[in-house]
């Protein structure tokens, strides 16, 4: 961190003093005091539900504080809403992007420009978008539609939209949750450029390795209170974990089995026979993949994001019908695209995009908790829906998932992303009596929740469930898997036993190159 950026006596850009925010039944923030300075990247750490996003929603005017004050450039301020915060130079990029999918990049950026006239030629706004891109070092395709972009490209558009409105302080909520390693590196380069130009950056995150790599200072929240603020050079990941969780947390390198791993002759919970999938444009996304899922094992699917993993998970859970080949479920041919039939056969699914594929954002926690069991007593049956039973079910599920609820009727979108993920995993684990497909289940989770998630997957394995773990985190794959399959460009590059797996071999397969070592099919 450039020490010269902090001139003697220079006030912080934004100072929070004794901020408190209370919701019915939950203290979200209590007496939080932090200062954010120009020329620094400040990481905000804490468990799911620790109050990080709530605090930043107070800063950006989405919520009004119940106590305390905010001091901007030495003057007390109150923001009646996000427009007031933006006018003061504070902008936030939320975890779930707020772009118009059918608009182009340039059109989405133009929505944030006050000077945009009622009608303007597409070429003019595209030229301005490209100028913004060059100014801030964030590469974009000005004429591309948002729904054709990767998550990393969409995030760049969100950041440019905030910066185009004159932001001096940029807040990012879980900015790397859905990014590839290459996209993460590109994002960090852009944030450093903004910082070095005198901007203030706040990152809400759980990823300690990224905090150590990019942040200058960090503040830790636990149960809504500030535990400490540190220079990154003065702390270790272990110290930060202890402050976040309140106890040491270790992620084991392996999870011992309660019984021996199933062999090649073990019962197959699901079989894929030369399954191929094509998208609406006729492009092959999954190419003749054959796999056997054995009851009582974890099959890890390794690969860089975007190499056929969504299509593979879709085929395994009935969301996607194979273009060719077939799926056998319990020894019988499975229906093509019928997720209800797969769920009834004991297949649970934790998708990579929980808000789009696992939850109904406009509904409450209780309705989302019973999505898989609303037809079953005591919640349902005989065309009746018992709202009281649904609330009790949601409360019990929240306890099992270690999620604090203000109310089971609260909107599900009001929970942190990590708490949403915990509830989805607990809900899907209940119905997964045969197969549990977990796609990037650690996304958005703090280290304590990751440890609990891994233990839950290991417990499902020991209970005889065939667990499919899709991840690009090799440490996670190696810690949990009995066998490891590598997927590249929709093709199965190889399947190996965990005892035979080597990082260099997996890395070569992930990059599309043949392995030097022999790989068992």
In the chain, the domains with their CATH numbers are 3-245 (3.40.50.300), 268-360+421-510 (3.40.50.300), 363-410 (no CATH)
- Cβ–Cβ under 8 Å, residues 163 and 170: yes
Q: What is the token pair recorded at 100?
A: 């118009």
Percent share of the chain, pLDDT over 90 = 46
pLDDT tens digits, one per residue of 437-489: 999 898 777 777 888 899 999 999 999 999 999 987 888 999 999 999 999 88
Backbone angles phi, psi at 266, to 5 degrees: -65, 155
C-alpha to C-alpha distance for 129 and 141, rounded to whole angstroms: 9
Q: Quick check: 182 pLDDT over 90?
A: no
- Cβ–Cβ under 8 Å, residues 270 and 320: no
Q: What is the mean pLDDT of residues 171-180?
A: 79
**Structure confidence at residue 3 as a pLDDT band (50, 70, 90):** very low
Residues 6+ apart with CB under 8 A from 304: 180, 181, 472, 488, 510
Mean pLDDT check: name the lowest of 55-59, 314-318, 503-507.
Answer: 503-507
Q: Do β-strands 380-381 and 347-350 pair in parallel, antiparallel, or remain unpaired? A: unpaired
Average pLDDT, the chain: 87
Q: What is the mean pLDDT of residues 343-357?
A: 88
Backbone angles phi, psi at 103, to 5 degrees: -90, 160
- Kind plus residue range of the DSSP H or E element containing 83: helix 82-87
pTM value? 0.67
| Distance, first Cα to last Cα, the chain | 50
Percent share of the chain, pLDDT over 70 = 93
Longest alpha-carbon distance in the chain: 74
Q: What is the mean pLDDT of residues 126-143?
A: 85
**Structure confidence at residue 406 as a pLDDT band (50, 70, 90):** confident
pLDDT for the residue 428 = 95
pLDDT for the residue 333 = 92
CA distances, 162 to each of 94, 112, 424, 434 (Å): 11, 8, 31, 46
The rounded Cα 113 to chain-centroid distance in angstroms is: 29
Q: Cβ–Cβ contacts within 10 Å for residue 273, how many?
A: 16
pLDDT for the residue 517 = 41
Q: Quick check: 380 pLDDT over 80?
A: yes
Q: Quick check: 1 pLDDT over 50?
A: no
pLDDT for the residue 515 = 53
- Cβ–Cβ under 8 Å, residues 200 and 25: no
pLDDT for the residue 265 = 84
- Cβ–Cβ under 8 Å, residues 424 and 259: no
Backbone angles phi, psi at 380, to 5 degrees: -130, -165
Q: Cβ–Cβ contacts within 10 Å for residue 7, how many?
A: 10
Closest CA to 21 of 74, 61, 48, 77: 61
Q: What is the mean pLDDT of residues 62-66?
A: 94
Q: What is the token pair recorded at 8?
A: 């003697």
Strands (E), 79-192: 90-93, 169-173
């Amino acid at each position: 961190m450039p020490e010269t950026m902090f001139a003697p006596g220079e006030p912080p850009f934004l100072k929070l003093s004794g901020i408190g925010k209370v919701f019915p039944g939950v203290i979200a923030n209590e007496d939080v005091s932090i200062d954010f300075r120009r020329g620094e990247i400040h990481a905000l750490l804490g468990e799911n539900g620790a109050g990080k996003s709530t605090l930043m929603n107070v800063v950006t005017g989405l919520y009004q504080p119940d106590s305390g004050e905010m001091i901007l450039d030495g003057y007390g301020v109150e923001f009646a809403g996000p427009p007031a915060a933006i006018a003061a130079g504070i902008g936030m990029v939320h975890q779930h992007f707020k772009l118009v999918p059918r608009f182009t990049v340039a059109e989405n950026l133009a929505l944030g420009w006050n000077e945009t006239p009622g009608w303007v030629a597409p070429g003019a706004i595209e030229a301005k978008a490209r100028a913004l891109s060059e100014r801030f070092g964030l590469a974009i395709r000005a004429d591309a539609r948002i729904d054709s972009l990767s998550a990393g490209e969409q995030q760049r558009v969100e950041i440019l939209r905030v910066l185009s409105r004159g932001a001096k302080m940029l807040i990012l909520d879980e900015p790397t949750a859905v990014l590839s390693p290459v996209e993460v590196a590109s994002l960090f380069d852009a944030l450093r450029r903004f910082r070095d130009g005198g901007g203030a950056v706040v990152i809400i995150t759980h990823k300690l390795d990224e905090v150590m790599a990019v942040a200058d200072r960090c503040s830790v929240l636990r149960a809504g209170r500030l535990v400490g603020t540190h220079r990154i050079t003065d702390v270790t990941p272990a110290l930060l974990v202890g402050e976040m969780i309140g106890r040491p947390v270790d992620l084991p390198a392996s999870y011992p089995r309660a019984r021996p791993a199933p062999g090649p002759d073990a019962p197959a919970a699901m079989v894929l026979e030369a399954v191929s999938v094509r998208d609406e444009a006729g492009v092959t996304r999954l190419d003749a993949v054959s796999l056997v899922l054995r009851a009582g094992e974890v099959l890890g699917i390794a690969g860089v994001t975007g190499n056929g993993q969504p299509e593979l998970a879709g085929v395994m859970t009935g969301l996607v019908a194979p273009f060719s080949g077939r799926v056998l479920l319990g020894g019988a041919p499975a229906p093509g695209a019928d997720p209800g039939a797969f769920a009834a056969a004991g297949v649970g699914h934790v998708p990579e995009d929980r808000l789009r594929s696992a939850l109904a954002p406009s509904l409450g926690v209780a309705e989302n908790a019973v999505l898989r069991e609303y037809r079953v007593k005591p919640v349902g049956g005989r065309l009746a829906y018992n709202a009281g039973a649904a609330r009790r079910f949601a409360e019990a599920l929240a306890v099992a998932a270690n999620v604090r609820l203000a109310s089971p009727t609260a909107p599900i979108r009001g929970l942190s992303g990590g708490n949403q993920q915990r509830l989805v995993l607990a809900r899907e684990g209940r119905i997964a009596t045969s197969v549990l497909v977990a796609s990037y289940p650690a996304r958005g989770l703090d280290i304590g929740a990751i440890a609990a998630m891994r233990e839950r997957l290991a417990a499902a394995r020991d209970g005889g469930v065939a667990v499919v773990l899709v991840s690009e985190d090799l440490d996670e794959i190696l810690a949990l898997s009995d066998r490891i399959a590598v997927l590249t460009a929709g093709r199965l590059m190889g399947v190996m036993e965990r005892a035979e797996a080597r990082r260099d071999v997996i890395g070569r397969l992930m990059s599309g190159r043949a392995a030097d070592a022999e790989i068992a099919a």
